[in-house]
Amino acid sequence: MFGNWLKTAILMAGILALFAAVGGALGGGQGMLIALLIGGAMNFFAYWFSDKMVLRMYNAQEVDETSAPMLYNMVRELAQRAELPMPRVYLIDEAQPNAFATGRNPEHAAVAATTGILQLLSTRELRGVMAHELAHVRHRDILISTISATVAAAISSLANFFMFFGGSRDERPNPIVGILVMILAPLAAMLIQMAISRAREFEADRGGAEISGDASALADALTKIDAYARGIPMHTAETHPETAQMMIMNPLSGGGLRGLFSTHPATEERVGRLRAMA
């Protein structure tokens, strides 16, 4: 638990530093101060409200044992096995098979699944996926993924703001410097996300296998999701690529760059580790 709090603190410090660097490069001393204030406000806002923002972004609809009895009861059974409070359960009307967890701690957690994943997977395989998401909750890394998803988008907007409106006339940045920062700042945010995401997926796979007691089910699910997700675009994820690292499988259709800038480990490696556990 302490390790995850430390990672969260490092992430927030990195975000503040990145905001300050963008503000300083594009707006001088005044720009750095403004950017630090914006970064601090974003960190505060992201801690309390980023989960709601992400769920709203995907138009996720909360369900219960009346509206989605199979999914809801499955999550309840797995949460009891994991000794976790019952999270809120959401459905996303998307054809691509995928799922994610969000929230600032296990007491304020939510798990979401697309309609596509419910149609694709067997009950046993879906159970493995939801156990994976609850492992994210148990490991307390859902806060990290949700904050990074929310703030990464803001960094790009900050760069654009300072490029066109920031600083006095004498402090206006060189256009070439401005363009470089506009390109490199979002890339730096993406690298922060990747650094905290790949290792988490391996741990959540291992934890999910332990919670469900069926490593092979999760391995089978990942194989199916990987095969189908590549051919079915998820438009919200394409519009908000900073949220891709929250999903159980990379939802982006990035072609050759998919592997280079992927927030997820290779599916083959994940499946291989799960098969070894089984």
Give CA–CA dist 68/9, Å, rounded.
37
Contact indicator for 156, 182 with CB cutoff of 8 Å:
yes
Give the β-pairing of 109-114 and 88-92.
Answer: parallel
Is 133 annotated in the active site?
yes
Q: Which candidate, 168, 208, 192, 207, places its Cα nearest to that of 245?
A: 192
List 133, 203, 210, 238, catalytic entry: 133
d(CA 266, CA 252): 14
Residues 6 or more apart whose Cβ sits within 8 Å of residue 20: 32, 35, 36, 39
Q: Pull the structure tokens for residue 198.
A: 């790949």
C-alpha pair distances (Å), 41 with each of 19, 44, 48, 246: 11, 5, 11, 22
The token pair at 6 is 């430390």
- Amino acid symbol at 87: P
Q: Which residues, in sequence order, are bridge partners of residue 88?
A: 110
Which residues are catalytically annotated? 133
